Amino acid sequence: MIAQSTILIVDDQPELLLGIQMTLESVGYDVLTAVDGNIALDILHRADVDLILADIAMPELNGYQLFEQIRMEPDLLRIPFIFLTARAMSSDIRYGKTLGVDDYLIKPIKPEDLLAVVEGRLRRARELKDVTPAPPAPMPPSSPSLPPVVGAPDQGTEVIEVGSLWIAPSQHRVRLRGVEIAFSAREFRVLEYLARRAGQVVPPHEIVKVSHAFDTDDIEASGLLRPLIRILRRRLGYAIGEMGCIENVRGVGYRLVTPE
């Protein structure tokens, strides 16, 4: 019997959903099911889930969109996410993997192969949890009513400045265009690290050493960083989809540039 874990299956085909559910429950997993991405999100906000298996082609909210929504939420980003789909074209597989999913499986799949992948991803998630702290709760967005802060910092206080971005590491304070912004400890560490290397491309594995105190390769590091970088951009006031001053140099890493 495998140590009890809860798995969420998301698929709009009831017969496939039932077959996967029976396979997982036969070895002791608790299983939750959803027939589209919106229902899956509702379940994730109400229940503790250890791994997600999701189809791609679904009504309302498809698998790609579900993955993006989950990775926008700090409380959910640690959950291993696996695509289980009939989309077997190389272009589909490449696209799915570039999004940062933990695995991409093709239907139909042998039960023993599915169980092996699920067990491996759950074990890896437990190992990561043992060596890294839980993700911080979302910080409230910066208030537009905060007045611009004027004047020089206290004498002797180290300040990192990248254009209008102002960081005081010892005070855990950040200002952008004179307006103070709140960051969690992990978010602050990443922003400070990039600011100290402004203009340089920093590889993902190097940033993860700072953000998660964890050594890994660039592939796994990219998956850990992607949602965190999105949150940083939002804190800095950039819209969803905008890089802003934190540029992604595809296949190489991230670079902080002077905010416009």
Which range marks the domain in which residue 58 is found? 6-131
Percent of the chain clearing pLDDT 90 (strictly above): 44
0.85 exceeded by pTM: no
Reported as a single tens digit per residue, the pLDDT across 68-119 is: 888 888 888 889 999 999 988 888 888 888 788 899 999 989 999 999 999 9
Torsion over CA: 57, 30, 111, 122 (sign): positive
Residues 168 and 62 in one domain: no
- The CB-based long-range contact list for 99-104 (8 Å cut-off, 24+ gap) reads 99/64, 99/67, 99/68, 100/67, 100/71, 100/222, 100/223, 100/226, 101/67, 102/223
Q: How far is CA 150 from CA 94, 142, 192, 207, 237, in A?
A: 49, 17, 21, 32, 20
Q: What is the mean pLDDT of the chain?
A: 84
Which phi and psi (to 5°) does residue 109 adopt? -130, 140
Most confident listed range (27-36, 61-70, 149-158, 225-234): 27-36
169, 122: one domain: no
CATH number of the domain enclosing 204 = 1.10.10.10
Domain count, the chain: 2
Note whether residue 154 is domain-resident. no
Q: What is the maximum alpha-carbon separation in the chain?
A: 68
Quote the pLDDT of residue 126. 85
Q: For position 142, what pLDDT does the model report? A: 45
Q: Are residues 168 and 123 in the same domain?
A: no
